[in-house]
Structure 1
Amino acid sequence: MEDFSLPRDSYFLGFDSSTQSLKATVLDSNLNIVASELVHFDSDLPHYKTKDGVYRDASVNGRIVSPTLMWVEALDLMLNKLSNSNLDLGKIAAVSGSGQQHGSVYWKSGSSSILSSLDPKKRLVDQLGDAFSTKESPIWMDSSTTEQCREIEKAVGGALELSQLTGSRAHERYTGPQIRKIFETQPEVYHNTERISLVSSFVASLLIGAYACIDETDAAGMNLMDLRQRVWSDRALEATAPGLEQKLGKLATAHAVAGYIAPYFVERFSFNKDCLIIQWSGDNPNSLAGLTLNTPGDLAISLGTSDTVFGITDDPQPRLEGHVFPNPVDTKGYMVMLVYKNGSLTREDVRNRYAEKSWDNFNAFLQQTQPLNGGKIGFYYNEHEILPPLPVGFHRYVFENFNGDTLEGLAEREVEEFDPPSEVRALIEGQFLSMRGHAERFGMPSPPKRIIATGGASTNQSILNSIASIFGCDVYTVQRPDSASLGAALRAAHGWLCRNKGTFVPISSMYKDKLEKTSLSCKLSATSGDKQLVSKYALFMKKRIEIENRLVERLGRC
């Protein structure tokens, strides 16, 4: 039997550069967590004056960015934390990472020489202050590029044509429309940019001291890559900005080696000079890896700043809703995903408004109200939502004469507000009914074989119980809700193994038959329960989608 074991006494480091923080997870050769650290942008780097890790530009509707240098300084701080811990950084055999998807960084002409000659006596942030042609990075929360989205879609033959070509229609947060906006509104910035990185390839570039490639999976979140051929699409590039391919560099597979760690980190933090940097990828692909999701029929729900639903398929059918990416843990197959902008921050807002800022009160309200909420349905958007494409606002509806058995023939009326317990249940049921409805429309299985929940809210048992009831399947959770940095550490080990074997090997070969003995194991956290209730939720979901469609027609964007 072929040996797929990892080198003893070696570690594998995974980062997650997310919206609000930089996290690190270290696995040993048995794939157990041996160390973890966190840098929270608002509290640990307060001089950037971000709120939730971002700047919201009141003068430009929908413009949301982050200071690029904050991400650099966060890496400085994180490596100091790891270096000052009991962890021997010299034993780290490989590093990989996760970056919030769609965020982009613009390197100024000449910055490659700065990257290649970093002084180990100085902090990164002190050497890279002048390395960027714009100091603010557009991120996934930005919704200011509607005009550019429509221009790109028109240029390639329509929204569905772009989706079939690149895996998604044009979305405001996607990097292609963001680049086009910079080209159109800040031509001097675009002209002075020699390389455009995603957040993932940006931090990888810091670690290798040179421009790292964008990996194919994260590239699919740009509206710029041919999904089937896995090359930059000439049609999409031409529709976006001139000379763009040269600024993007080459693509790489997710398990490829980006390079060896730069001498800067060897000298300053005592990394081994042979430490490999494996291609970084997006946060959702890394979460898929961290959840060991590799079987069609399994579904993952990530409950974070944004909420996402994703799974694996062999036969993707790109649509106007949802997204398709190359499989981040295999050379075949695809990852399908739905994204909701209003996730944890919206849950926190409803908690603050109606549950006295207490999760205990929030959960008590959820437990004391009945499933189906007496016929009350709510739509809660603190940010301009992606799915459905609706603006900021709360919308509440009540079905007249609802008795819990049928919705046929019942009319709904819009109301100003519910009582506090009903607000909480309307929010939670609304979020997960939307997920179920859109997942089914996208071709995901109903019911799924199982759901794996991750992200901060996956520790909330009341929310997990609601997910199980609405989807009609068991819900599992991982030992640690931060699956993105865990997945990045696992991908670091996988990339090292592929390099050592000289060929691609399945990621499951590292943990096959021993998964329950690792930090990757899942536990059953909520059971599906009443099948009759699942059927009632199906009717509730259908009515919700009908109301949603009318809201989109009245308030949304095409």
Structure 2
Amino acid sequence: MSLFVGLDVGTQSVKLVAYDPDAKRVVAAHGAALELVAGDDGSREQHPQWWIDAIRACFARLDASQRARVVAIGVSGQQHGFVPLDAAGEVLAPAKLWCDTSTSAHCDEIMDAVGGVARCIELGGNPMLAGYTAPKLPWTRRHRPEAYAKLAAILLPHDYVDFWLTGERWMEYGDASGTGWLDVRTRRWSAELLAATDPDRDLGALLPPLVEPHASVRIAPAIADELGLPREVLVAAGGGDNMMAAIGTGNVAPGVLSMSLGTSGTLFAHAERPVVDAEAGWAAFCSSTGGWLPLICTMNCTVATETVARMFGFSSRDENAVLADTAPGAGGVVMLPFFNGERTPNLPNARGALFGMDPTNATRGNVYRAAMEGATYSLRNGYDALQGAGLSFESIRLTGGGSQSAVWRQMVADVFALPVEVPTQPEGAAFGGALQAMWAHARAQGRTTGIDAIAAEHVAVDPSLSVQPDAAAVAAYATHYRGFLRHLDAARLLYATPAAGA
């Protein structure tokens, strides 16, 4: 009769799933939308209180009898965000998010301070990229000096939610590796990278302790009472949304490739050793299961399709009708969907662009399809780097909002020339949080159950949503993808230097 709750604190919404492991089904799923504050300088921010309010709303919609059955909670959170706290645990400023590119100039400052990109990768396993947590610190020091002067604790979004739930601060290795400060090989903070971020302050003293991914802490009594939960509820270590989505899609052992089509697009695989690329073709992250998670992240995925839908005044729910008269290649229309700048490839100052339009192909259907194709091609470009490193896969596990689109599922199969499977649980990150909570609960009770065994038992795919590549479309997309890469090469030149006034 126990229920395990997974919370996913995303960019667009907070999602809650309550999972019954005996019945092997999600018995409740609720969501609450979030606002986003966007600035012309590339800033993207949210107030952490919005996350808490949304979580409260989700729990309020959960039936009281179900809340009484909850035994553990696992929190997934958007990676890289910077939540600054003062000595009393109060938030000092809005949280700068993963899609914030206003800090891009500070990436070079940090890398130059340690001796360049190669040295940065040597120290931590990754270069400093726009969106990572580290460059948000010097930005805050420069633009919010009063908040920086009072800074007493550095938390990531999921850490902050855990802090609210329990009153305790901690960080686990997966999300920590997205700060830019963690040496992913040793799972320890790099003193050199921290000093390069601020040579006049001991930033390491502001970071919470690192914990194992199966760790847990009991919920604070006052929060349990407020949410209508038992006071014995455990809060698992949690993790970044990509790490939790890996668990939720069963990507906890080598050989599985997961793809998430959400606000951002991600590709990730499980590894049992650090997978570091000297050319930084992918992010060399740790997983939230004790392994490693080589990851490709693009900053623009459903952002592109939703922007086009808004531009033409239709809903993404109408995509079948909108795309009815389109075909692979979008009639020659090509989109570089870099509305938020881009991480892979590393073009933080890039912006979205359309090419190849003429009086006959400039239709809303072709532009919408070009947005979908551009987001998929961007992920394929990152996948090429993984293939170049000798990694190979037999299928793709698809999750995120885009996975519910039949057109997009087939497009992924055709662009990657791989079969596509869709887990039965569409909210991969939230479901991964629930499964990690199961793991933490079992360990707290003295059982040695592994996360791989839990995933094998509880992660299932929906055969009705599985698709195979279409040979003709695979050949067509191979040609169109090469055209996309030519436009991408032009964008690299156009956006190679910081934007004017940056």
2:287 alignment partner in structure 1: 327
Does residue 551 (structure 1) correspond to residue 491 (structure 2)? The answer is yes
CA distance in 2, matches of 1:427, 1:27: 34
- Count of residues in correspondence between the two structures: 490
Aligned counterparts of 2:478 and 2:488: Cα–Cα separation in 1: 15
SS at the partner of 1:342?
Answer: coil
**Deviation of residue 535 (structure 1)?**
4.2
Give the AA of the match of 2:431: L
Q: Tell me if 1:195 matches 2:172.
A: no
Query: Which of 61, 81, 88 is matched with 1:110 structurally?
Result: 88
Give the equivalent residue in structure 2 for 1:116: none
Residue of structure 1 aligned with 2:31, choices 14, 27, 38:
38
CA distance in 1, matches of 2:315, 2:226: 44
2:128 matched to which residue of 1?
Answer: 170
Note the 1:290-329 alignment, pairs <5 A: 290-314=248-272, 316-318=275-277, 319-329=279-289
Normalising by structure 2, we get a TM-score of 0.90
Q: Does residue 1:57 correspond to 2:15, yes or no?
A: no
Q: Tell me, yes or no, if the aligned pair for 2:250 and 2:459 is still in contact at 8 Å.
A: no
1:39-88 Cα deviation digits (max 9, x unpaired): 223xxxxxxxxxxx211234xx1122111222222233333333xx1434
Question: What is the DSSP-based 3-state SS (H/G/I as helix, E as strand, rest coil) of the residue aligned with 1:102?
Answer: coil
Aligned residue in 2 for 1:442: 386
* Gap change, CA 1:360 and 1:260, over 3 Å in 2: closer
Query: Are 2:1 and 1:12 aligned?
Result: no
Residues 1:235 and 2:192 are matched in the alignment:
yes
Counterpart of 2:99 (choices 136, 141, 155) is 141
Instruction: Give the AA of the match of 1:498.
Output: R
Q: Structure 2: which 5+ residue stretches go unaligned?
A: none
Contact 1:351 1:424 in 2 (8 A): yes
Q: Structure 1 residues 28, 557: closer, same or farther in 2, change over 3 A?
A: farther
Alignment of 1:66-77 (within 5 A): 66-77=46-57
| Cα distance, 1:511–1:290 mapped onto 2, change above 3 Å | closer
By how many angstroms is 1:265 displaced? 2.7
Closer, same or farther: CA 557–310 of 1 in aligned 2, 3 Å: farther
> How far apart, CA to CA, are the structure 2 residues paired with 1:470 and 1:521?
21
In 1: Cα distance, 2:258 partner to 2:353 partner: 27
How far 1:491 sits from its partner (Å)? 0.5
CA distance in 1, matches of 2:286, 2:9: 21
Radius of gyration: which is bigger? 1
**Aligned counterpart in structure 2 of residue 101 of structure 1, from 69, 79, 83:** 79
Corresponding residue for residue 396 of structure 2: 451
Match status 1:22 vs 2:2: no
CA distance in 2, matches of 1:36, 1:361: 24
> What is the one-letter code of the residue matched to 1:392?
R
Point out where structure 1 has 5 or more consecutive residues left out of the alignment.
1-8, 42-52, 112-130, 399-413
Within a 5 Å distance, the mapping from 1:405-420 to structure 2 comes to: 418-420=362-364
**1:342 alignment partner, one of 300, 322, 328:** 300
Quote the RMSD (CA, aligned, Å): 2.5
- Report what 2:231 is aligned to: 273
Deviations 1:474-505 (A, max 9, x none): 111122321111110111001112222365x4
The answer on whether the counterparts of 2:7 and 2:17 sit within 8 Å (CA) in structure 1 is yes
Partner secondary structure for residue 422 of structure 1:
helix
Task: Give the match's secondary structure for 1:87.
Answer: helix
Change (3 A) 1:88 1:188: same
Residue 431 (str. 1) matches residue 375 (str. 2): yes
Q: Letter of the 1:193 partner, please give it.
A: L
Q: Which portions of structure 1, spanning 4 or more consecutive aligned residues, are displaced by more than 6 angstroms?
A: 414-417, 444-447
Say which of 447, 451, 474 aligns to 2:419.
474
Residue of structure 2 in register with 1:406 after alignment: none
- Tell me by how many angstroms 1:456 deviates: 1.4
Deviations 1:367-407 (A, max 9, x none): 43332345543323322222231522313148xxxxxxxxx
Map of 1:492-531 to 2, 5 A cutoff?
Answer: 492-501=437-446, 503=448, 505-512=449-456, 515=457, 518=458, 520-523=460-463, 525-531=465-471
User: Taking structure 1 as the reference length, what is the TM-score of the superposition?
Assistant: 0.82
The equivalent of 1:186 in structure 2 is 144
CA distance, structure 2, for counterparts of residue 462 and residue 320 of structure 1: 31
Is the 2:304–2:375 Cα contact (8 Å) retained in structure 1? no
Hey, what does 1:540 align to over in structure 2?
480
Is the counterpart of residue 391 in structure 1 residue 369 in structure 2?
Answer: no
Q: CA deviation at 1:424?
A: 2.7
TM-superposed CA distance for 1:462, in Å, is 1.1
| Contact 2:401–2:426, Cα closer than 8 Å, also in 1 | yes
Q: 1:167 to 1:523 in 2, by over 3 A?
A: farther
Q: Separation in 2 of the partners of 1:152 and 1:288?
A: 30
Contact 2:70 2:233 in 1 (8 A): yes
Please tell me the residue identity of whatever aligns with 2:489. N
Contact 1:152 1:170 in 2 (8 A): yes
My pick for the range that moved more, 267-276 or 238-247, is 267-276
